[in-house]
Amino acid sequence: MAELVSMDLVSPEKLLLSDAYEMVVVPGAEGDFSVMAGHTPITAVLRPGVISIYEGDTEKDRIFVNGGFAQVADDKITVLAEEAIHVADLDRKDLEQRIANAAEDIEDAKDDEVRRKAQENKDHLEQLLEALG
Amino acid sequence: MANLKELKNRITSVTSTQKITKAMKMVAAAKLRHAEEAANSARPYAERMESMMVSLAAGLEGREAPRLLQGSGSDQKHLLIVATGERGLCGGFNSSIAKAAAQRAEKLLAEGKDVQILCVGKKGRDALKRRYGRLIIDFVDLSGSKRIGFSDAQPIAQRALSMFDNEEFDVCTLFYAKFVSVLTQEVTAQQLIPASIPEKAEGEESEVDYDYEPEEGEILDELLPRNVSVQVYKALLENSASEQGARMSAMDNATRNAGEMIDKLTLQYNRERQAAITSELIEIISGAEAL
């Protein structure tokens, strides 16, 4: 068995995940990169996207993060994300419905503040849908 | 016997007060446990973010630091964010935070600085309104959210950040009560902007030489605003734990005082009753003797 890289996924509210994997692919702001044991120390900004966890050649788990930071050192990767959702927990139908609702909210918005919030909400949902992809 | 009846009424009323304070103490104890859990689970994120910031800031030496770190180069305009509870009956919790903020405001005003106050929580606003009403720019109501979430902290941080970008203040200080134990809560004034980065401990090796993607400066630009939200979130959590702790000990005291009062009143009641019986007996006996 190959050496493992341990990953901590932390959100401001709690420690979401702490486990060891063979390979983790994270969505860096300047392109995805994969982390395995012995990776060079790096601090990177993440864009909204999916963290893929690989066991051998198969993708074991996918987690959506809405941006954040990753720090790699000593066979250990720490991901700071404000929001993280297992892709498996997402439901395509539900998301599409919510995007449609958000689009309606934008139409109905009476002032800029409300419109901006609705737009943010819609963008966020679309990112989630993309993650399902 | 009007007096006896009065005493009895008082005993009943104190007993029902005691029931209420006892229940409030239990509720506060349960809420305190939740609040402590929330504070504990928020710790890893804050700690890691801090260590990331320390290593980034150390790597930044000599280069131009972002404004959030360096400040705007002046300290004329101050923003005080005063975080208190939404409810009273928790001992000196709210008033001690408000007092610390008022003292700071007083000191800054005496130095000829401009002061603005942003109140988080109703009780702080009520306490500061009378003397510093004109300085209060806004009030954030948290009574709607039962449990403090990160989404409660974000708007506050955003507000402060956009004000800073518009150069409406130079220094931002956050007032809250740090939870030490159920009996002690420490009122803390924390400087939010410019960010205060803890110095690296003496002799500590700069462990790892990190690669950065993108550049350090850009990462810091992303990291610092988020750090403000995290600090606000941490303060709100500490505050809610402190509030419940303070309420618990205040209600414990109140319950004990009510108990003492009941004992005293009961003793008095029994004495009065005995005196009434005795005087009745004397009347009967002296009546019989007179025959």
Q: Measured between beta carbons, which residues in chain B are less than 8 angstroms from residue A43?
A: 52, 55-56, 210-213, 219
Residues B12, B83, single domain; the answer is: no
Residues B33, B90, single domain; the answer is: yes
Question: Which residue does chain A place closest to B230, by CA atoms?
Answer: A12
List the beta bridge partners of residue B280.
none
Q: pLDDT category, A59, cuts 50, 70, 90?
A: confident
> Does B205 have pLDDT greater than 70?
no
Residues B259, B175, single domain; the answer is: no
**pTM of this prediction?**
0.84
Residues B220, B188, single domain; the answer is: yes
Complex ipTM: 0.76
Tell me which residue in A12, A29, A73 faces B42 most closely, judged by beta carbons: A12
Nearest to A106 by CA among A132, A128, A90, A126: A126
Is the CB of residue B205 less than 8 Å away from at least one CB of chain A? no
- Contact (CB, 8 A) for B173 and B80: yes
Contacts of B161 (CB under 8 A, 6+ apart): B68, B193, B225, B228
CATH of the domain at B17: 1.10.287.80
| Distance from the A34 Cα atom to the nearest Cα atom in chain B, whole angstroms | 14
Give backbone dihedrals phi and psi of B87, rounded to 5 degrees, phi first: -130, 155
Computed over every residue of chain B, the mean pLDDT equals: 88
Residue that has been written with the tokens 């401990």 in this structure: B201
| Distance from the A92 Cα atom to the nearest Cα atom in chain B, whole angstroms | 25
Binary contact (B45, A30; C-beta < 8 A): no
- Domain residue limits at B89: 27-199+210-249
- Contact (CB, 8 A) for B85 and B170: no
Selected residue of A10, A17, A26, A72 to mutate for chain B interface (largest B Cβ count, 10 A): A10
Residues B135, B119, single domain; the answer is: yes
> Tokens standing for A40?
């060079």
Residue B291 inside a domain? The answer is no
pLDDT tens-digit profile of B91-118?
889 999 999 999 999 999 999 999 999 9
Q: Which residues of A have a CB under 8 Å from any CB of B?
A: 8, 10-15, 28-30, 33, 40-45, 69, 71, 73-74, 78, 80, 82
Residues B117, B183, single domain; the answer is: yes
Number of domains in chain B: 2
- In order, the DSSP letters of B33-54 are HHHHHHHHHHHHHHHHHHHHHH
Nearest to B140 by CA among B127, B128, B124, B129: B124
Q: Measured between beta carbons, which residues in chain B are less than 8 angstroms from residue A44?
A: 212-213, 219
> Does B1 have pLDDT greater than 70?
no
Residue B157 inside a domain? The answer is yes
Residue B37 inside a domain? The answer is yes
Residues B152, B189, single domain; the answer is: yes
Residue B140 inside a domain? The answer is yes
Residues B98, B233, single domain; the answer is: yes
Mean pLDDT of B237-248: 93
Residue B284 inside a domain? The answer is no
Is the CB of residue B207 less than 8 Å away from at least one CB of chain A? yes
C-alpha span between B248 and B24 (Å, rounded): 8
Residue B290 inside a domain? The answer is no
Q: What is the largest CA-CA distance in chain B?
A: 114
The lowest-confidence range among B46-55, B97-106, B198-207, B248-257 is B198-207
Three-class HEC string of A87-113: HHHCCHHHHHHHHHHHHHHHHHCCCHH
Binary contact (A41, B211; C-beta < 8 A): yes
Nearest to A20 by CA among A38, A8, A31: A8
Residue B161 inside a domain? The answer is yes
Computed over every residue of chain A, the mean pLDDT equals: 86
CA distance readout (Å), B105 to B93, B151, B166: 19, 28, 22
- Contact (CB, 8 A) for B202 and B196: no
Q: pLDDT category, B206, cuts 50, 70, 90?
A: low
The lowest-confidence range among B32-41, B119-128, B214-223 is B214-223
pLDDT at B202 (0 to 100):
47
C-alpha span between B156 and B120 (Å, rounded): 8
The lowest-confidence range among A34-48, B99-113, B195-209, B219-233 is B195-209
> Tokens standing for B164?
């800073």
CATH of the domain at B122: 3.40.1380.10
> Does A101 have pLDDT greater than 90?
no
pLDDT tens-digit profile of B29-77?
999 999 999 888 888 888 888 888 887 877 776 666 778 887 887 888 9
